[in-house]
């Protein structure tokens, strides 16, 4: 057979999916998943006693804020159209019970009041409701004499913390300690004190993850040991859905899966199982991996940011907490 002269007749395909990928306009028109600024929440750290922002070495581009720089970050987030801002406090002094979390003059409660005064109702002001940043042992609860986390004593502390944050003006509390019954206790305390308007973003399926490392620098964690007796085993997905359903029964307004990228399957399972908004936290280690790879020139940073957030949204998250929230909002405007 003469390969040069013999013709090969190819019957072209009738169905050509590539037609809808041909131009940027076509791709935008048929995109199934959209990330929008209003679905993004910016987590921020405010450190007591700072006069200026302090860089976090393991999270390039993220800082511990002073109270003044926090207000500026919140104002920018509101101007960019973000959905919310999640506040974490870093106190100068810690103790065994995390008393600074309940003190009206504590750094987190002051930060709530500062941000509410700065942005009003332009931005949902959220606050982490957990003791770990405030305890000298770094655990999310009160310890028994033998060093175990006491679930029910911790619930009492969470109720007090919720009331302190509500008095400071918070819109939404984020119980993240993974104590059994935490949502019910917080909801009852808020309602009894006439704070029924304060909503609850429950960290329902929070896993004992290796990707939390940079966060511990961000909050100057004093953790001794690990949190595997209360955070979930990374091997378990069905259990994650069970935890979510329990929190909804107890009054959670939004439920969350944390981390996000290693648990996209759990986000999807949760989204399919519930009829309340689902959030996911794109955590510090996930952020830092992308930043490190981009710093070495191994990936296209901005494309990787948007692809990461799109994957979380595609998995089923309605709300994404991400350290890229403000930058992503600017990229989405471009």
The catalytic site residues sit at 206, 258
> Measured between alpha carbons, how far is 311 from 290 in angstroms, rounded to an integer?
14
> Measured between alpha carbons, how far is 7 from 18 in angstroms, rounded to an integer?
26
DSSP string, 109-154: HHHHHHHHHHHTTSSEEEEEE-STTTBTT--SSPBPTTS-B-HHHH
The number of residues making up the chain comes to 334
DSSP3 helix / strand / coil % (the chain, rounded to 5): 45, 15, 40
DSSP string, 150-212: -HHHHHHHHHHHHHHHHHHT-SEEEE-S--TTHHHHHHHHHHHTT-TT-EEEEEEEEB--GGG
Q: Is 329 helix (H, G, I), strand (E, B) or coil?
A: helix
Q: How far is CA 48 from CA 52, 77, 106, 109, 327, in A?
A: 11, 21, 8, 11, 25
How far from the centroid of its chain's Cα atoms is residue 228's Cα? 20
DSSP 8-class letter at 233: P
DSSP 8-class letter at 225: S
How far from the centroid of its chain's Cα atoms is residue 165's Cα? 18
């Amino acid at each position: 057979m003469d390969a040069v002269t013999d013709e090969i007749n190819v019957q072209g395909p009738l169905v050509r999916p590539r037609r809808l990928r041909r131009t940027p306009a076509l791709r935008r028109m048929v995109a199934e998943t959209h990330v929008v600024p209003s679905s993004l929440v910016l987590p921020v750290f405010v450190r007591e006693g700072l006069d200026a922002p302090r860089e976090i070495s393991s999270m390039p581009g993220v800082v511990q804020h002073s109270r003044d720089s926090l207000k500026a970050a919140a104002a920018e987030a509101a101007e960019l159209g973000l959905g919310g801002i999640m506040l974490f406090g870093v106190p100068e002094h810690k103790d065994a019970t995390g008393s600074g979390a309940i003190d009206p003059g504590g750094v987190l409660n002051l930060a709530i009041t500062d941000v509410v005064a700065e942005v009003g109702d332009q931005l949902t002001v959220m606050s982490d409701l957990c003791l770990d940043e405030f305890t000298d042992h770094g655990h999310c609860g009160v310890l028994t004499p033998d060093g175990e986390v006491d679930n029910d004593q911790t619930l009492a502390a969470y109720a007090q913390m919720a009331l302190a944050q509500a008095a400071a003006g918070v819109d939404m509390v984020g119980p993240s300690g993974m104590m059994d019954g935490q949502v019910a206790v917080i909801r009852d305390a808020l309602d009894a004190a006439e704070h029924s308007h304060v909503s609850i973003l429950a960290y329902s399926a929070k896993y004992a993850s290796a990707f939390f490392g940079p966060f511990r620098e961000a909050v100057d964690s004093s953790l001794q040991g690990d949190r595997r007796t209360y955070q979930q085993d990374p091997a378990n997905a069905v259990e994650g859905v069970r935890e979510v359903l329990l929190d909804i029964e107890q009054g959670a307004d939004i439920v969350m899966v944390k981390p996000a990228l290693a648990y996209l399957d759990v986000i999807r399972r949760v989204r399919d199982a519930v009829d309340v908004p689902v959030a996911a936290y794109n955590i510090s280690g996930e952020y830092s991996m992308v930043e490190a790879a981009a710093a070495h020139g191994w990936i296209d940073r901005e494309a990787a940011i948007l692809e990461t957030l799109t994957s979380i949204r595609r998995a089923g998250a309605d709300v994404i907490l991400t350290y890229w929230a403000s930058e992503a909002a600017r990229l989405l405007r471009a």
